[in-house]
Structure 1
């Protein structure tokens, strides 16, 4: 049974949460494509026709009566860049789960998978209109990414001013994983993606939305608070439900159409969705 985000958050330990999700994913996904006969031991798998018999762990066979092959990681040529939205709307919360908490779980889980596969990794944030490098690619990037995620806080609006992204101009193969609500005033997020998209850069956007943001089943009077500007407005939910639902449907449809670009994938996630199931579906389709 897949762990819910609320259960993972209670652990108060991103590394453990990421490992649990990663382990859950590895149960259904064979990730040995990047393994070889290097020097650093990584894992066991069952012997398959064509494998070198010398790689069978015969001592383990004596204990288990199973032919298990030792695998070790080889250096990956994939660079995974994690890009986290830290605008104030990431503090949105439903049923004790904030968008930011869920975003951290996604990134910690994918970082754990990347660590297991010896991928190069780095972490960036979008905050107050600037791209900030929290963890550059290098040694111990996995632990540094976890530490930076633990301490990341969201606040303020996304003041998009068409900034330059020199770190994203490399010509190596890379995967850019962006986690955001992707809610915009104009087309600032679309402009950003169009600016950094390219044939050697696969972009995956996890758009995190709450049940009420998608369905708006509230009843009665509410004071709505803008988490980025601080503006407040009191409304009767039933009076605005139909117009809200229509506007939300139109916005999401436009987003789907606008992001139907080569090498760009949009994955819409509800905060109630189990993290492992969200990632398993994505990774299975992508052959990560």
Structure 2
């Protein structure tokens, strides 16, 4: 049984939490599963008696009528950019679980898996319209990323303006992993993702939401606060429930359509979902990418 997000956050130790999640993954996923597509085939050879028939490339057979098997592979060191949204809405808390703390454990776990695969790690944060490269690719990237994660704070908002960020551009094959709530006033996040989309780059978006943010089944009077602007509003939750649920459902559907881009994958999770389960689903889905 997977540890709950609350249990892992209470450890107050990202490296330990990442190790625990990695051990939980080993029980359900082959240890060779990669978080990124880092395997490249070098060459083929003709099938011979004694070779494993499972290694025959049947697609190639359909084109050439030749029984060829994949002879050797190269495990390339994939370049992975981890990006964390530090806008004020990441401070949202539900049932004692803060979105930012959930994101930290999730990123630490992904980085731990990347380190085990000898992938190249870098880490960026997004805050108030600025992109900050917190960790460059070095042999100590994982430890530096953990240290940075432990100390970052969320505040402000991501502005709604078209912009590009040279520090996020690259010509090499790479994986970009962005963790955010992807809640936007207009199209600020979809514009950012569109600007990141480029050849030889795969983008994975982890959207973290609370159950109440999605379902809004609150009853009674509440004081609601916009965590980015600071504005507040007091009202009966029941009086706006139906409208809220409709608008949220419409927004999430529109977001999915807007992010239906080549090599972009949106993975939505809730703050009560065990992080090991989230990663397990992600790793299994990689077969379909």
What TM-score do the two structures reach when normalised by structure 1? 0.84
* Aligned position for 2:232: 232
Q: Which runs of 5+ in 1 are unaligned?
A: 35-48, 51-73
| Conserved? CA contact 1:77–1:173, under 8 Å | no
Superposed CA offset, 1:255-279 (max 9, x none): 1111111100001100010000011
- Classify 1:251/1:11 alpha carbon distance in 2 versus 1 (closer, same or farther; 3 Å): same
- 1:128 aligned residue: 128
CA distance in 2, matches of 1:26, 1:138: 27
Q: Distance in 1 between matches of 2:236 and 2:123?
A: 41
- Write the deviation string for residues 206-251 of structure 1: whole angstroms up to 9, x where unpaired: 1000011011010111110110010001111110000000000000
Q: Secondary structure at the match of 1:254?
A: helix
Q: How far is the alpha carbon of 1:27 from its aligned partner?
A: 2.5
Aligned residues: 251
Give SS of 1:139's match.
coil
Name the counterpart of 1:195. 195
Summarize the Cα distance change of 1:254–1:33 in structure 2 as closer, same or farther, 3 Å threshold.
closer
Alpha-carbon contact 1:130-1:163 (below 8 Å) kept: no
Mean CA deviation greater in 169-178 or 20-29: 20-29
Aligned partner of 2:155 in structure 1 is 155
CA–CA distance in 2 between the matches of 1:152 and 1:228?
16
Deviations, residues 166-196 of structure 1 (Å, cap 9, x unaligned): 1232111111110000000000100111111
Pairwise CA RMSD of aligned residues? Answer: 1.7
Contact 2:80–2:121 at 8 Å: present in 1 too? Answer: yes
Residue 106 of structure 2 corresponds to 106
CA distance 1:75–1:145, change in 2 (3 Å): farther
Instruction: Mark the CA change 1:168 to 1:27 in structure 2 (over 3 Å): closer, same or farther.
Output: same
**How far, CA to CA, are the matches of 1:251 and 1:205 in structure 2?**
16
Return the alpha-carbon distance in structure 2 between the equivalents of residues 122 and 101 of structure 1. Answer: 20
- Quick check: 1:89 aligned with 2:60? no
Secondary structure, aligned partner of 2:269: strand
Structure 2 CA distance for aligned equivalents of residues 33 and 235 of structure 1: 49
Q: Distance in 2 between the 1:83 and 1:272 partners?
A: 22
Query: CA–CA distance in 1 between the matches of 2:227 and 2:168?
Result: 29
In the alignment, the residues of structure 1 paired with residue 16 and residue 277 of structure 2 have an alpha-carbon distance, to the nearest angstrom, of: 17
- TM-score, normalization: structure 2? 0.83
* Partner SS for 1:32: coil
Counterpart in the other structure of 1:279: 279
1:68 is aligned to none
Q: Tell me if structure 1 keeps the 8 A contact 2:85–2:126.
A: yes
Q: Could you say what secondary structure the match of 1:81 adopts? A: strand
The CA deviation at 1:139 is: 2.0
Identify if the C-alpha distance between structure 1 residues 102 and 118 changes in structure 2 by more than 3 Å, giving closer, same or farther: same
> What's the counterpart of residue 178 of structure 2?
178
> Is the Cα contact below 8 Å between 2:160 and 2:185 reproduced in 1?
no
Q: Distance in 2 between matches of 1:205 and 1:100?
A: 15
Shift of 1:75: 7.0
The structure 1 segments of at least 4 consecutive aligned residues displaced by more than 4 Å after TM superposition are none
Counterpart-to-counterpart distance in 2, 1:189 and 1:149 = 22
Partner of 1:16: 16
Give the conservation status (yes or no) of the 8 Å contact 2:91–2:98: yes
